[in-house]
């Protein structure tokens, strides 16, 4: 995985991130966020993946149901944000929609995914930083505004 600062002005920074075959996406995005000390960003990405694990938030159990897709898929949409978590570290929250070879789409919270053959992401850090805190009702780290 390679990350490059493309632009920086008025407190905003834009990065391009290119993942290589086999790179794990969720941990890779978090590594970029930590390395560049991102505190309030949004991201988009396109490419292709394999061994994807989607998450569906189950309100009744307050846990993510894991939905594994153990095949090659095309990334139709990957969007998310980076905010400072309750412990002061960057936290990546991303959702993904992928398409199988028959055109059926599956989507949810991005828990795990491995790149095959590439994933290209753009991350834009905003001048204002985003903060998360744990919501007592859900147990999730939600954005504070």
C-beta atoms surrounding 38 within 10 Å: 26
- The pLDDT of residue 87: 87
* Euclidean distance between CA atoms 91 and 63, whole angstroms: 17
> Environment class of residue 18 by beta-carbon count within 10 Å: exposed (0-12), middle (13-18) or buried (19+)?
middle
Q: Tokens at residue 136, please?
A: 């007592």
Cα–Cα distance measured from residue 55 to residue 87, given in angstroms and rounded to the nearest whole number: 23
Instruction: Return the pLDDT at 145.
Output: 83
Q: What is the pLDDT along the chain (145 residues), one digit of tens a residue?
A: 999 999 999 999 999 999 999 999 999 999 999 999 999 999 999 999 999 999 999 999 999 999 999 999 999 999 999 999 888 999 999 999 999 999 999 999 999 999 999 999 999 999 888 788 888 989 898 888 8
Look at residue 130 in the predicted model and tell me its pLDDT. 79
Give dist(CA 51, CA 24) in Å, integer: 10
Tokens 């147990």 belong to: 139
pLDDT of residue 141: 87
């Amino acid at each position: 995985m390679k990350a490059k600062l493309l632009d920086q002005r008025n407190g905003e920074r834009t990065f391009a991130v290119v993942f290589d075959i086999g790179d794990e996406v969720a941990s890779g995005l978090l590594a970029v966020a930590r390395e560049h000390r991102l505190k309030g960003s949004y991201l988009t990405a396109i490419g292709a993946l394999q061994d994807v694990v989607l998450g569906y938030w189950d309100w009744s159990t307050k846990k993510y149901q894991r939905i594994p897709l153990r095949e090659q898929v095309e990334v139709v949409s990957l969007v998310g944000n980076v905010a400072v978590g309750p412990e002061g570290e960057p936290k990546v929250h991303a959702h993904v929609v992928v398409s199988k070879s028959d055109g059926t789409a599956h989507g949810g919270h991005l828990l795990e995914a491995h790149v095959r053959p590439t994933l290209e992401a753009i991350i834009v850090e905003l001048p204002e930083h985003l903060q998360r805190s744990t919501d007592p009702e859900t147990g999730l780290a939600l954005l504070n505004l």
